[in-house]
Amino acid sequence: MLINISISILFFEKIGFIIIPIATSISSWLNAFLLFSKLSKNDYFKLKNILNISNLKIVLISIISIYSFYILTNIFEKYLAYNSELKLFTVILLVAFTILIYILMSLLTKTFKYSDIKLKY
């Protein structure tokens, strides 16, 4: 949280309001890295093999989902205009549809298995 606030304050004058989501992304990735490091160090979480087929499927499905979202935003561009009354509803629908695409593709390709996750308590 301190990193998020610090980045936002330091760069707000130079970059403007767009630094707020950028700072949130940076601090979130740092937090994820620190949590992963701590869990790995204490043997609470282990990745079997980072370059296995399942991870490649995840990357491919993510790319296809992102591209699908991009196409959908172009198709529904008039509903996403600044003065559109349906903008919020359209964004919610597009995000929900993209999540549905991701989940369906994951199930069809059998990307996720419970045995892939090894947790020790």
Q: What is the pLDDT of residue 33?
A: 93
Q: What is the pLDDT of residue 116?
A: 56
- What does the pLDDT profile of the chain (121 residues) look like in tens digits? 999 999 999 999 888 888 899 999 999 999 999 998 998 888 887 776 666 787 889 899 999 999 999 999 999 999 888 888 888 999 999 999 999 999 889 888 988 766 655 666 5
Structure tokens at 6: 């610090």
Cβ neighbours, 10 Å, residue 61:
19
Q: What is the pLDDT of residue 82?
A: 83
Specify whether the CB–CB gap between 95 and 103 falls below 8 A. Answer: no
Q: What is the pLDDT of residue 50?
A: 66
Q: What is the pLDDT of residue 67?
A: 95
Of 73, 65, 51, the closest CA to residue 103 belongs to 65
Backbone angles phi, psi at 83, to 5 degrees: -95, 10
Place of tokens 């630094």: 19
